[in-house]
Amino acid sequence: MTLVETIPDACDLASNHSILDSWIDLARSAKKEIMIASFYWTLTEGTQALGGAKGVEVYHELEKAAARGVKLRIAQSAPTDAFPDNDTEYFSLHRIAEVRNVNMSAMFGAGVLHTKFWIVDDQAVYVGSANMDWRSLTQVKELGAVVTNCQTMAEDLRRTFESYWLLAGRTTLPTSWPHRTHTHINMKHPEHSMINGKEGDWFLTASPSEICPPGRDIDIDAIVAMIDEAQDFVNIEVMDYVPVAEFQAEPLYWPKIDDALRRAAWDRAVDVKLLCGNWSNTDPIMPPLLRSLQEVGEAIKAGGMNGSLEVRVLNIPVDPAGSFNYTRVNHAKFMVTDQRSLVTTSNWSADYFLTTGGVSLIVKQAQAVADLLAVFMRDWGSKYAALVPLAGR
């Protein structure tokens, strides 16, 4: 598993592999088929001074792949006024790609298809936080995982893609799923494979439960299980962390992850670290909820107990070249424990697990744990990490 990142300009965090290069390599390597599941597409709508050409570069590589006979299939969240998906409309009109729209809101009353993954020739996959957006390649801090030469993983992720393909155009949920969407790979039965040259166990999960065909575990169950099995540390980096529903009409307190983190630190003396994004669009309810977790950590310390619970936020500096909407934020979403690594496409509020489509890759392998831990500790100890801001600031 190779970790790939976008580190925005003016942010001097070292990274070895870029998402831009990985997407270009995947597109160039394709011989038969590329499947992409995505939230929205704005690769060609960038500002030149802020790196918009990088999005166009990926767009053109996909065009070139189609021109040499590679089948391109795209499952995306249904377009809206805010996200009209002009890129994929062009692909569809010019028969460059077959595009299908998944309307989560029609089926659930809320939500989007928030997934972001690639499958190439049933051999290679990308799963991560980056949208098909020029900003994700230049202006937003992102993280993803690329696994190559792993047919079993690519075929298993294809089963999730095929479930999206079947959901396209629907306004109601299916009552059954065809066998091609079923899986036997899950938490109880992980797959043992060579992952980028090293042996490891892995499984994929998805959200919400209603669109998980038989055999597929749901994200929240895997997240809580990972926290519950940790013996030494739990480190989480995610843009939004709120134990409530942010986007539903009715209030909903949803502390499944919150409770697991408190149990780990208090009951089992695990060292828990949580690093969240912080920017102008941060929900004002998030800082007080984060401080409530920090208070648990203070109580553990005051009681002379082992274990810890610490919370920080990551601030991405502005670009000297200018600014653009919805940029300069840590958009990465991952967790690493002493046992496993998890790379996901979802933020951590109730909505992302109940009404919004997402995918996670969970790997048990010493190298995967070490690599993701190194990224987390780099960010946690960087000059961009800070205490949770006080209310109203």
Catalytic site includes residue 121: yes
Give the residue carrying structure tokens 């980096």: 237
Catalytic residue among 85, 87, 114, 371: 114
Given a contact cutoff of 8 angstroms between Cβ atoms, the answer to whether 340 and 231 are in contact is no
Which residue in the list 9, 121, 221, 228 is annotated as catalytic?
Answer: 121
- What is the distance, to the nearest Å, from the Cα of residue 78 to the centroid of all Cα atoms in its chain? 19
Q: Is 71 a catalytic residue?
A: no
331 catalytic per annotation: yes
The strand pairing partners of 364, in sequence order, are: 201
Farthest-apart Cα atoms in the chain, separation: 66
CA-based end-to-end distance of the chain:
39
Integer CA distances (angstroms), 347 to 128, 220, 354, in order:
11, 11, 12
Q: Copy the structure tokens of residue 186.
A: 């899950």
The residue annotated as part of the active site, out of 331, 333, 351, 379, is 331
For this structure, is 192 an active site residue?
no
Other CB atoms within 10 Å distance of the CB of residue 250: 5
Distance between CA atoms of residues 220 and 217, nearest Å: 9
CA 330 to CA 275: how far, in whole Å? Answer: 10
Residues annotated as part of the active site: 114, 116, 121, 331
